[in-house]
């Protein structure tokens, strides 16, 4: 099946007082219609910057896509004009941000904020757009949607605000939904409801989802394929079942080992020693080498490539590619 979204060798840079910092370094990915791709990694690994690069939402004065391609439905997004981007963004490609209170405008009713996208992209009249907003609030499971549409963001709970964000993203029936940590600030009960809602909408609309998260439980529940990122690079990519059953990269193994266990001999949670490298001073070899428990001396000088170690399973590790570990 032809990919809905194809990203090739994406490199994103930021201009800082310390110089030019590459936050995303050579990311490639593809998502097909109806598929869910998970991007997982700890804070600062480049997950969110990848999504902002795809959506063309980088801060203009300090952020830029230095090289690469972002093809959506066959069009290179990086070569489109601002007007053409705005026709796609919020319409055929939409995004749910991590914290609704920083994304929703506090001085406008939520119904008006949802209806703006419908008026701009679908060319609906004021009454039609409002009716569609109320219908979307009903679809995302909000009780009394006609009343909630008249309220302001601060009058709603965290779970309700996140549902409003999903309604806003879904109002134009996008082909691709990018969800950046959509359940981070919610308690576990509301998290489960939001994930169920996203699954239901995906089945109904045959929509592709890019799920950005640091929560491996969300990955296991939601995703078909998964990419593990570390220090701006993809270190492992495979289908979700294989990742949990047979992780290849030492970093992925460390992430899985750090999950809490319900039973067994584990007295305390395991952790990955050391710190994430400073993006202004990346290691010269493998970026995970300073923290890797199985590294060899050459790992600190040779930069590994992301190569297929078994069919449909790629890994950025010299020792894994040579069958040593």
Digit-coded pLDDT (tens) for 58-77:
998 899 999 999 999 999 99
pLDDT tens, residue by residue, 282-323: 999 999 999 999 999 999 999 999 999 888 999 999 999 998
Q: Who has greater pLDDT, 278 or 229?
A: 229
Is 281 among the domain residues?
Answer: no
Question: How many structural domains is the chain composed of?
Answer: 1
Distance CA 17, CA 120 (A): 39
Q: What is the mean pLDDT of residues 35-42?
A: 95
The whole-number pLDDT of residue 63 equals 94
- The structure tokens 């569609």 sit at 132
Q: Looking at 13-27, 121-135, 257-271, which range is the least confident one?
A: 257-271
Average pLDDT, whole number, for the chain?
91
In a domain, 84, yes or no: yes
pTM: 0.91
Residue 80 included in any domain: yes
Asked, for residue 69, whether it belongs to a domain, the answer is yes
Helix (H, G, I), strand (E, B) or coil at 250: helix
Scan for tokens 């009716």, then name that residue.
131
Q: Is residue 319 part of a domain?
A: no
Q: What are the residues whose beta carbons fall under 8 Å from the beta carbon of 70, sequence distance 6 or more?
A: 5, 6, 7, 10, 53, 54, 76, 77, 78
In a domain, 203, yes or no: yes
Residue 263 lies in a domain: no
CATH of the domain at 157: 3.40.50.300
Whether residue 35 contacts residue 225, with contact meaning beta carbons closer than 8 Å, is answered with yes
Does residue 246 lie in a domain region? no
Domain that holds residue 17: 5-235
């Amino acid at each position: 099946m032809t990919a809905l979204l194809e990203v090739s060798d994406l490199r994103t840079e930021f201009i800082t007082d310390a110089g030019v910092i590459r936050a995303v370094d050579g990311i490639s990915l593809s998502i097909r219609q109806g598929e869910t791709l998970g991007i997982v990694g700890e804070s600062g690994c480049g997950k969110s910057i990848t999504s902002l690069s795809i959506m063309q939402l980088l801060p203009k004065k300090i952020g830029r896509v230095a090289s690469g391609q972002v093809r959506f439905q066959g069009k290179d997004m990086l070569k489109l004009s601002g007007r053409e981007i705005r026709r796609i963004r919020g319409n055929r490609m939409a995004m749910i941000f991590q914290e609704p209170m920083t994304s929703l405008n506090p001085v406008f009713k939520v119904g008006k904020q949802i209806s703006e996208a419908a008026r701009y992209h679908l060319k609906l009249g004021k009454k039609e757009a409002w009716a569609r907003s109320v219908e979307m609030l009903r679809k995302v499971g909000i009780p009394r949607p006609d009343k909630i549409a008249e309220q302001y963001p601060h009058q709603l709970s965290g779970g309700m605000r996140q549902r409003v964000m999903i309604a806003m993203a879904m109002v134009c029936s996008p082909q691709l939904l990018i969800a950046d940590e959509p359940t981070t600030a919610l308690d576990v009960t509301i998290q489960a409801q939001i994930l169920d809602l996203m699954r239901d909408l995906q089945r109904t609309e045959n929509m592709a989802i890019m799920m950005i998260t640091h929560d491996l439980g969300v990955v296991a529940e939601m995703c078909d394929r998964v990419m593990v990122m570390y220090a701006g690079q993809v270190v492992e990519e495979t289908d979700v079942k294989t990742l949990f059953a047979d992780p290849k990269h030492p970093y992925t193994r460390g992430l899985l080992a750090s999950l809490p266990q319900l039973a067994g001999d584990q007295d305390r949670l395991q952790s990955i020693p050391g710190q994430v490298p400073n993006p202004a001073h990346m290691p010269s070899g493998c970026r995970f080498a300073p923290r890797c428990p199985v590294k060899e001396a050459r790992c600190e000088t040779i930069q590994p490539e992301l190569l297929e170690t078994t069919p449909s399973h790629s890994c950025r590790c010299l020792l894994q590619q040579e069958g040593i570990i």
